[in-house]
């Protein structure tokens, strides 16, 4: 089993100084990575914010969770990712996804194609980026992208390019992740294009087990090399887990047992959460856990116990 790693995902802070302080704080608490999402609401630009966080720290990894492939041409993403890989001395993780939030497309005027089309476009983009990083050039003629003799410069510091994190909740995207990613980031199905009550129904542990199986089957011989990442949303470090779960479960349309078992939930005392994470790693393979700024400090005892083990 892979050793535990922990990441914190943060959209922005009130100032640049606060962003640097947050990055140093995450590093000091034992977090492996600071991730920035990619939406068009009030948040930092993910690539720029990642670079600033890396400059403010020494060992902290930085990355995107995840870039919407539709927002940027893969040739430009490959160049920026290779630059960040070199500038951070290998501390950058490139998270990619096919896009899901309807509001982003409505606000930007970018056409939101059907999921199958968006995923096919991401698959083509991955081929172009890999060629640029691995051979120093790329020529590609596909349904969605056509490039000719594009130069893959600068060369990434990491052989083959920065680690790829591919995230999603559908079978098609997770099979793509299994074939290409270093880290498979598993979330509930977001086919609705928004965060609503339907997401809770997609969060039960049985559906997560299916998602893990899809990624691993698609990975074939490299299945055991995948690092499985779990993005969380309901994290409470509290001494009264049964009461907390009982209060929250009806609000999200799950039974207390379903919520307690859902991989996106971590509710309990620090020792209870340690036990939960060990069990989930054994049963589902999740070793790379993503939380948010609100629970960053409260989870520190868990990280002190588990990180690197």
- 8-state DSSP, 56: T
**CA distance linking residue 115 with residue 294, whole number of Å:** 31
- Percent of the chain at pLDDT > 70 equals 100
Q: Residue 131: which of 145, 158, 117, 151 has the closest Cα?
A: 151
Mean pLDDT of the chain: 97
CB 38 within 8 A of CB 67: yes
pTM > 0.85: yes
Give the pLDDT of residue 213.
98
The domains found in the chain, sorted by start residue, are 5-232+285-306 (3.20.20.30)
Q: Residue 259: which of 271, 246, 269, 272 has the closest Cα?
A: 246
Give the pLDDT of residue 60.
98
Q: Give the long-range contacts of residues 277-285, CB within 8 A, separation 24 or more.
A: 277/4, 277/302, 277/306, 278/306, 280/230, 281/1, 281/2, 281/4, 282/1, 284/205, 284/208, 284/209, 284/212, 284/228, 284/230, 285/1, 285/2, 285/212, 285/216, 285/226, 285/228
**CA distance linking residue 168 with residue 99, whole number of Å:** 9
Task: Please give the torsion angle defined by the CA atoms of residues 111, 117, 120 and 124, in that order, rounded to the nearest 10 degrees.
Answer: -40
Give the pLDDT of residue 277.
98
pLDDT tens digit sequence for 233-250: 999 999 999 999 999 999
DSSP string across 103-139:
HHHHHH------HHHHHHHHHHHHHHHHHHHHHSEEE
Give the pLDDT of residue 140.
98
Q: Residue 205, SS3? A: helix
What are the structure tokens assigned to 12, written together? 């922005």
Give the pLDDT of residue 71.
97
pLDDT tens digit sequence for 57-98: 999 999 999 999 999 999 999 999 999 999 999 999 999 999
- 8-state DSSP, 153: -
pLDDT tens digit sequence for 103-152: 999 999 999 999 999 999 999 999 999 999 999 999 999 999 999 999 99
Give the pLDDT of residue 24.
98
Give the pLDDT of residue 196.
80
Task: Give the helix/strand (H/E) hosting 9.
Answer: strand 5-9
pLDDT tens digit sequence for 24-61: 999 999 999 999 999 999 999 999 999 999 999 999 99
- Label residue 214 by pLDDT band (50, 70, 90): very high
pLDDT at 177 over 90: yes
Give the pLDDT of residue 180.
97
Give the pLDDT of residue 195.
82
N- to C-terminal Cα separation, the chain: 10
- Label residue 200 by pLDDT band (50, 70, 90): confident
Count of C-beta atoms within a 10 Å radius of residue 252: 18
Q: Are strands 137-141 and 146-151 parallel, antiparallel or unpaired?
A: antiparallel
| Residue bearing the bigger pLDDT, 299 or 190 | 299
pLDDT at 201 over 90: no
What are the structure tokens assigned to 270, written together? 């620090």
pLDDT at 197 over 80: no
pLDDT at 251 over 80: yes
């Amino acid at each position: 089993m892979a050793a535990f790693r922990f990441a914190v995902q943060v959209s922005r802070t009130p100032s640049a100084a606060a962003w640097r302080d947050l990055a140093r704080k995450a590093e000091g608490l034992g977090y492996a990575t600071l991730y920035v999402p990619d939406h068009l609401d009030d948040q930092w630009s993910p690539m720029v914010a990642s670079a600033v966080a890396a400059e403010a720290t020494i060992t902290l990894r930085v990355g995107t969770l995840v870039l919407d492939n539709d927002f940027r041409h893969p040739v430009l993403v490959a160049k920026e990712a290779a630059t960040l890989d070199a500038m951070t001395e290998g501390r950058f993780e490139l998270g990619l996804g096919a896009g899901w939030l309807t509001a982003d497309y409505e606000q930007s005027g970018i056409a939101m194609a059907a999921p199958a089309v968006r995923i096919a476009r991401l698959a083509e983009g991955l081929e172009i980026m890999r060629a640029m990083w691995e051979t120093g050039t790329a020529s590609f003629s596909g349904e969605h992208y056509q490039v000719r003799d594009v130069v893959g410069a600068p060369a990434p510091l990491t052989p083959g390019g920065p680690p790829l994190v591919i995230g999603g909740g559908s079978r098609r995207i997770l099979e793509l992740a299994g074939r290409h990613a270093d880290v498979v980031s598993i979330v509930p199905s977001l086919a609705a294009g928004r965060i609503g009550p339907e997401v809770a129904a997609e969060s039960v542990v049985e559906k997560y087990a299916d998602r893990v199986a899809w990624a691993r089957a698609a990975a074939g011989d490299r299945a055991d090399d995948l690092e499985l990442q779990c993005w969380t949303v309901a994290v409470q470090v509290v001494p009264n887990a049964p009461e907390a779960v009982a209060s929250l479960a009806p609000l999200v349309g799950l039974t207390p047992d379903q919520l307690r078992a859902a991989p996106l939930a971590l509710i309990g005392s620090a020792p209870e959460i340690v036990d939960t994470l060990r069990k989930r790693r054994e049963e589902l393979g999740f070793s790379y856990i993503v939380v948010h700024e609100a629970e960053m400090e409260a989870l520190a005892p868990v990280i002190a116990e588990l990180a690197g083990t």
